[in-house]
Amino acid sequence: MILCKSIAELRALLKPLKTQGKTVGLVPTMGALHAGHGSLIAASARENDFTVVSVFVNPTQFGPNEDLDAYPRTLESDCQLAEKMGANAVFAPSVHEMYPSEDMTWVEVTGNITKVLCGKSRPIHFRGVTTVVAKLFLIAAPDRAYFGQKDAQQAEVIKRMVKDLFFDLELRIMPIVREEDGLAKSSRNTYLNAKERQAALCLSRSLKEAERLYRNGERNPEVLKKAVRNVLNAEPLAEIDYVDIYAVPGLKEPAVPLTGENLLAIAVKIGTTRLIDNVVLGDITTC
Ligand code: PAF
């Protein structure tokens, strides 16, 4: 597996492959790879001739009081996992490589889609995500790009950007990968101590309760949200950031009673660690 640290190196690697008509899959990550990323890499390796995993802790998507400095940086083990799951190259640029000047171009999706859910408490987050993902798309020009449903709002925002900017690629949004006990895999799970790790199970438990009610015919979003809150509030270490329901695609206000597909998304602080999880209520259920 090849490690590229510069844009020029990656482009030089990909150019002959494209000339030969080979397909390229891109898996953008911030590193600290876990089985969730592994499933994206494996999907890309199955569906493309060549898979590139980008590992870049993107400073522009972190707010001033967020965990940029503490974010785990584990390039060596990331390369090992990427290779094991079938990646052909890892692209790990420096901050200066990706943001060479203080004067810079932003790519921003505006409107409710970036203001609701995580956008409420992280007002600059999605602008940072779309800016870096657009750069990665322009550098690697992938045929397919892979993201996880765990970051459901991110996936919706990137879908919007791809459509609006006419990126010529296929977005593949892959299902949430969970631990055996239900906790959604996340790089931030490593911050949890044993007690918090146990407490964090309230997230998937609360979504399962909503799914159960939905399966039994409940279509009132307020009732479903209240049921989720009740489960979360019963956990002393949990502090709710949001519990919300929006119609997908697009994160529009949901119909009442609910029809079609709706995203039930939650963000909860367990100790100092903010975790997110979600389930799509409708034809497809992912929890
Ligand atoms: O989901 C992530 O890890 C990041 O938001 C992404 C898409 C790699 C952009 O930095």
Q: What is the DSSP string of 196-262?
A: HHHHTHHHHHHHHHHHHHHHTT---HHHHHHHHHHHHHTSTTEEEEEEEEEETTTTBPPPSS--S-E
Whether ligand 1 lies within 6 angstroms of the CB of 28 is answered as: yes
Q: How far apart are CA 245 and CA 226, in angstroms?
A: 11
Comparing 61-75, 117-131, 139-153, 216-230, the range with the smallest average pLDDT is 61-75
Q: Which residues pair with 170 in a beta bridge?
A: 144
Structure tokens at 114: 């970036």
| Residue from 26, 53, 55, 58 whose mutation best tests the ligand 1 pocket (most atoms within 8 A of CB) | 58
Q: Is the pLDDT of residue 262 over 90?
A: yes
- For ligand 1, atom 9: residue with the closest CA: 129
Smallest CA-to-CA distance from 154 within 113, 110, 187 is with 113
| Residue from 27, 95, 98, 129 whose mutation best tests the ligand 1 pocket (most atoms within 8 A of CB) | 129
Atom of ligand 1 nearest to the CA of 57: 10
pLDDT in tens, 175-215: 999 999 999 999 999 999 999 999 999 999 999 999 999 99
- pLDDT in the model for residue 283: 67
Whether ligand 1 lies within 6 angstroms of the CB of 244 is answered as: no
Average pLDDT over residues 126-133: 98
30 C-alpha vs ligand 1 centroid, how far in Å? 6
- For ligand 1, atom 3: residue with the closest CA: 29
Atom of ligand 1 nearest to the CA of 148: 1
- Cα four-point dihedral sign 29, 141, 3, 36: positive
111 C-alpha vs ligand 1 centroid, how far in Å? 20
Structure tokens at 266: 């939650």
Whether 37 is catalytic: yes
- pLDDT in the model for residue 284: 53
Average pLDDT over residues 240-269: 97
Q: Identify the band that residue 287 occupies on the pLDDT scale cut at 50, 70 and 90.
A: very low
Q: Which residues pair with 276 in a beta bridge?
A: 267
